[in-house]
Amino acid sequence: MQDIFKDNPDGRSEFIALASRERFARYLQATNGDEAKAVALYCWNMRIGQSLYVYLHCWEIALRNRCNGFLSWKYNKNWPYDDARFFRNLTTDDKRRLSETKARQERDRKSKPASTPAIVADLSAGFWVSQLSKRYEIPYVWRHNLSRVFPHDKALDRQAVWEKCNGLLTLRNRIAHHEPIHGLPLQELYADLQTLVGAMCPATRHFAEASCNFKETWELWHPQVTDDPGDTD
Counting residues of the chain whose pLDDT is more than 70, the rounded percentage is: 95
pLDDT tens for each residue of 188-200 = 999 999 999 999 9
In the structure, what pLDDT confidence band is assigned to residue 1 with cuts at 50, 70 and 90?
Answer: low
Taking residues 29-47, report their average pLDDT.
93
Answer yes or no: is pLDDT of 60 > 70. yes
Mean local confidence (pLDDT), 203-230: 81
Summarised one tens digit per residue, pLDDT across range 134-187 is 999 999 999 999 999 999 999 999 999 999 999 999 999 999 999 999 999 999
Closest CA to 128 of 166, 100, 102: 166
- Cβ count within 10 A of residue 211: 12
pLDDT of residue 155: 94
84: left (phi over 0), alpha (psi -120 to 50) or beta: alpha
Q: Which of 28-42, 96-110, 122-136 comes out lowest in average pLDDT?
A: 28-42
